[in-house]
Structure 1
Amino acid sequence: MNAQEPADEVRIPRAQIGSSPQHLLTTLLGEYLDSSQADLPSTAVIAILREFGVSESSARAALSRLVKRGLIATRGNRRPPVYHLTSQAIAKHRSRMRHFLNFGAQPPRWTGEWVMVSFSIPSSGQAVRHGVRRSLTALRFVGLYDSVWIRPGREAAPAREALDELLRPVEGARWSIMHVRFDEESGPHGPASAYDLTALSAAYSAFIEQYADLRVAARNGEVDAARALVARTSAMDSWRRFPDTDPDLPHHLLPRPWPRQRARETFLDIHSALGALAQARLVQVATPYWPDAASWITHFQASQDPARPEPTGGSAAATSRADGDPSPR
């Protein structure tokens, strides 16, 4: 009997700086496995995570946590355990991967509208106030003033749901959600002042510098399969923080020069060029413990991107999948 949680219970681990074994395993499953039919032995997972310096006990703990989160489920009662991706997890992975790979491809369609949240919580509700701020931050809102939070665009439903859940039980709490326009968007009292764009620009520049040599080596075919797996995963883990934290402000609110496009090109060059090599290394590592590994392991790559040239080299592997569509096996 398969242990499987309903779709709305699937919880992706929160993004963080650095990779816990749980976060790392989530990245690897999203990048290289795309079928709930695949039987994934725990011994193969342990061998794969060993490539990243993860101990056996930590690998087993990561598997256990992903079962609790609904990302994977056990297949029967075999020993050693065998796992499979849940169909809900595959849908979540595909959506997240498209988000990571397509972020920054096109400027946002800008209408000048912002969603604004304002709330008032009794002084005794400090824990609730912290929970509201944490939830709004996860929804990519930013504090304009103490209890006034904003985000660009018109999408207000997630904030409405979060505030209803958190504040409706709190006696004396009040909140409002509004669609607004600012007379002075880029001035010192406008919405742009709420963002630390200097720090975000520095983070993009640091990413470019960190992966500059790897980008050149990948382009020149100088990266072997063993290095490709770890390097490509590291680049993804570093890049994936940006789509979740960059507010994607309209062009006229960004400082000049804005390094996001250079960072995106760096990431996509590495991700595309090393995909087939990383896949080959995974198959090599997993096969002694999982004889069918080559039939199931694939790799995710960006679909045709109008914002950049067609990838070259190893990125066009016949066994890859583009935009989440599994390759024929």
Structure 2
Amino acid sequence: MTAEQPVPDVRTPRAPLGSSPQHLLATLLGEYLDSADADLPSAAVIAMLREFGVTEPSARAALSRLVKRGLIATRGDTRPPVYHLTPTAIARHRSRMRHFLTFGAQPPPWTGDWVLVSYSIPSAGQAARHVVRRALAGLGFVGLYDSVWIRPGVDAAPVRAELAALLHPVVGARWSVLHARFDEEAGPHGPAAAYDLAGLAAGYAAFVARFAPLRAAARRGTVDPATALVARTSAMDFWRRFADTDPDLPAHLLPQPWPRGQARETFLDVHSRLGALARSRLIEVTAPHWPDAARWITHFDAPGDPDRPGPAGGPRRTC
């Protein structure tokens, strides 16, 4: 995986868009706010989420949960409450947005190195086995065989620490973390066979098919601001799943033709062309509750410098 992780972790919700108001709110805050100085009234958040069919009670619950997760904080003790992004959350947002907007732009440098994990857990440790598998998947590993997991790269420190924390208390558990190279890397028994590359390719093709009409409408200039806000957020939500789950394998391990490039072009076209429209809609719906909305609401953009995407409009970046 190539996600950047240079900042302290914030437990950002990861539920699918539409089923989790807190995930939706985290997405919107990451896309359209970039300063800890902005005072965000709760009424503005409620208006923002109403655009996506989220009710007021659900919006308030989402706010409360994001406060508990450290993504936002209350400003003083006013009633109704006023919120702001935390500096840690802003740093996290910027790093994540760079990852989403640059993912797939350049082929990764390839050395042929893999991190391999092998473990043995007694039959009585079924619960621990499930937890270990989930943790490995969260670290970007995939099962090569039953208890052998791999991921490209050389950084073994995170998985080594995770396995020690999870398995040290389990009586009889054993595990090893190794650096490996495959003699027949591109063969049918090589590491690529562990991935569902056909499923990933189908996902990219489905993304292109789903958003091609929106891309065409955006190019014609026929998308209204309300539609732009919802559609752009949906495109980002789908794309971020690819950026977080695609192992970014080198070309010689991928089936050809590989559809990620077309999907990336589709995403960036939609995301960039609808950015200003989506921002204007957010300002329109929040301004009655937040007079400073136009000052603080921004939107991330990639085309100016694909390697250094950043906010367009709104305030200068501060923490």
* Structure 2 counterparts to residues 1-329 of structure 1, below 5 A: 8=8, 10-16=10-16, 18-302=18-302, 304-305=305-306, 319=313, 326=317
SS, match of residue 213 in structure 2: helix
Alpha-carbon deviation of 1:305?
Answer: 2.4
Q: What secondary structure sits across from 2:128 in the alignment?
A: helix
TM-score, normalized by length of structure 2?
0.93
CA contact (8 A) 2:120 2:173 kept: yes
**Percentage identity across aligned positions?**
71
Give the C-alpha shift of residue 174 in structure 1: 1.2
Structure 2 gaps, min length 5: 1-6
**Contact 1:276–1:317 (CA<8 Å) still a contact in 2?**
no
Deviation of 1:94 after TM superposition, in Å, equals 0.6
Between the two proteins, the alignment pairs up a number of residues equal to 310
Q: Secondary structure at the match of 1:104?
A: coil
Contact 1:18–1:237 under 8 Å retained in 2? no
Rounded to whole Å, the distance in 2 between the matches of 1:9 and 1:316 is 21
Q: Secondary structure at the match of 2:271?
A: helix
Q: Distance in 2 between matches of 1:175 and 1:38?
A: 48
Structure 1 residue runs of 5 or longer lacking an equivalent are 1-6, 307-314
Secondary structure of 1:143's partner?
strand
Taking the aligned partners of 2:252 and 2:305, their CA distance within structure 1 comes to: 27
| Counterpart Cα distance in 2 of 1:18 and 1:256 | 33
Rounded to whole Å, the distance in 2 between the matches of 1:42 and 1:23 is 17
Query: How far has the Cα of 1:10 moved from its partner?
Result: 2.0
Structure 1 residue 16: deviation in Å? 3.1
Whichever residue aligns with residue 24 of structure 2, its letter is L
Q: Which has the higher contact order (CA 8 A, sep 6+)?
A: 2
TM-score (norm 1): 0.90
CA offsets per residue over residues 81-106 of structure 1, 9 Å max, x none?
11110111001111111111111001
Contact 2:160–2:177 under 8 Å retained in 1? yes
Contact 2:301 2:312 in 1 (8 A): no
User: Does the aligned pair in 2 maintain the 1:276–1:320 contact within 8 Å?
Assistant: no
Amino acid at match of 1:95: S
Match of 2:4 in 1: none
Aligned-pair Cα RMSD in Å: 1.9
Secondary structure at 1:252 match in 2: helix
Deviation at 1:13, TM superposition (A): 1.0
- Provide the C-alpha distance between the structure 2 equivalents of 1:43 and 1:284, rounded to a whole number of angstroms: 13
Counterpart CA distance in 1 for 2:93 and 2:311 is 21
